[in-house]
Chain A
Amino acid sequence: MSGGTRLENANPVIFQRSGERLLTASDEDEDVHDPIDDREIFDLIRSINDPEHPLSLEELNVVEQIRVKVNDAESTVGIEFTPTIPHCSMATLIGLSIKVKLLRSLPDRFKIDVHITPGTHASEEAVNKQLADKERVAAALENSSLLEVVNQCLTSRSI
């Protein structure tokens, strides 16, 4: 994606990465049922690569823990993501990568909703509608070149 063409957002603001999750005694106790929490979901998506920069979505502040809402009992996950610029053409691809990561990581019972943070993108409504349409998401994921780009975003970098 960054193959020599002009970057859409040449100088993004870079944010500090959060620390590792602190384990509590009950986390390690196999007999205690731990519901899936916001931090756990955030950990699944924070290292997703930006399609354009060698940076994670967390470092670009595209995803934040406060914009993750999970309800384990109702099996719902809601994610809001914030494109770095209001005309970002990668918004759908970023949202799709978040969705695919969660579809692959979470139990099938979860309903996963991925939206743009309200007011942060010019085509917010169109991108949200596209991401919510599971038929179009399914068709997109059968497209091998698109799937390859998504998989690149989901590959963890070795730094």
Chain B
Amino acid sequence: MKEALTLVQRLNAHPDSRCWFVSWSPTGTLLASCGGDKAIRIWGREGDSWICKSVLEDGHQRTVRKVAWSPCGNYLASASFDATTCIWKKKNDGFESLTVLEGHENEVKCVAWAPSGNLLATCSRDKSVWVWEVDEEDDYECVTVVNSHTQDVKHVVWHPAQELLASASYDNNICIYKEEDDDWECRATLQGHTSTVWSLSFDGSGQRLASCSDDRTVKIWKEYPSESGQDLSWKCVCTLSGYHGRTVYDIAWCPLTGALATACGDDAVRVFKEDETADPDQPVFSLAAQAAKAHNQDVNCVAWNPKEPGILASCSDNGEIAIWRFQEED
């Protein structure tokens, strides 16, 4: 048995620009992309191929860095270098801009919805992480500003089931936050990477977190019962080094198959699989497949389809999106 990554389709998504990020809708039927052309594009399948269903323009004045779907799939949030986050609502066949979240001092780097859909997190070059509460009237209110990082915050991600938030930063650290008496506090700082942490991904159960960095490694962190009862205890249980030739910009842990995909500055997309017989406190991951020249420039993002096992989307500095199928070959 051997695994392989095969190309399904290549899309020239953001011509003459970077494609920074892609995100699947919760049903896996739509893919949103964003880029340096300030636009967001929504892709859907028609027959055997993926086509652009709508273009969301005029929402932002500068690069759109990341996009995120709400858990219900009816809203899309976009984080931009123009220091704002836009909330878009699905309407008929298209999307309309519902509201603009302001407050960050400069570039918003990432946005993520909590699994309940009632909370939204944003992070920025201004070193802060903001948590927003959404009410029934589609009103957004900032409930917390946390300043636990000392540098540019690159990424935020919620736990798949709990109201637990993780952030990654240029200060090389990862912070984990929990709500405490109406206030969000950093309850654990994960130190180990020796350069910028670009992205994070929880596994399906939420007991482990994968991080990727400019130090060209991937680390797997595991939650342990806390000793003091106060702080959360996360320990690095595995470091994947020697696989990536340059900065690892993104990581995606598939909740359906457990496969771990990475997006790298050496133009490759790699997929790792866990050795199921290994000690859970010392997991072992091995390279299952790679597309060495997945794109002809840096790969910025990888995203597993949430419903169709093995379908992976990636995007690159050359403005392209690629859709891949990861499967076992006979």
Contacts and interface: CB of A to CB of B under 8 A. Distances in A.
Are these two chains actual partners, yes or no? yes
B265 A111 contact: yes
Contacts, number: 38
Report the contact-size class of chain B (Cβ under 8 Å from the partner).
20 to 34
A127 to B, nearest CB: 14
Contacts of A108: 296-297, 317-318
B234 to A, nearest CB: 25
Interface in B241-289: 246-247, 265-266
B63 interface: yes
A139 B154 CA distance: 13
A142 B81 contact: yes
B170 interface: yes
Interface residues of A, number: 12
A82 to B, nearest CB: 23
Contacts of B154: 135
8 contacts: A109-B296, A111-B265, A129-B214, A135-B65, A138-B36, A138-B81, A139-B106, A142-B62
A129 B107 contact: no
Contact of B63 (A129, A132, A142): A142
| A108, A109, A142: most-surrounded residue (chain B CB, <10 A) | A142
A133 interface: yes
A132 B215 CA distance: 12
B107 A133 contact: no
Given A109-B296, A109-B297, A142-B63, A133 B170 contact: yes
A136 B152 contact: yes
Contacts of A134: 298, 317
Q: Identify whether the interface residues of B are mostly helix, strand, loop, or mixed.
A: loop
Given A135-B65, A136-B125, A138-B81, 7 more contacts: A108-B318, A111-B246, A129-B196, A134-B298, A139-B81, A139-B125, A142-B81
Nearest to B62: A142
Interface of A: 108-109, 111, 129, 132-136, 138-139, 142
A129 B195 CA distance: 8
Interface string B171-192: 0000000000000000000000
Contacts of B266: 111
A71 B42 CA distance: 38
A142 to B, nearest CB: 5
A51 B214 CA distance: 30
B104 interface: no
A58 to B, nearest CB: 29
A139 B196 contact: no
A133 B63 CA distance: 16
Contact of A133 (B196, B296, B318): B196
Contacts of B317: 108, 134
A138 B18 contact: yes
The 4 A-B pairs at the shortest CB distance, nearest first, are namely A139-B81, A139-B107, A142-B62, A108-B297
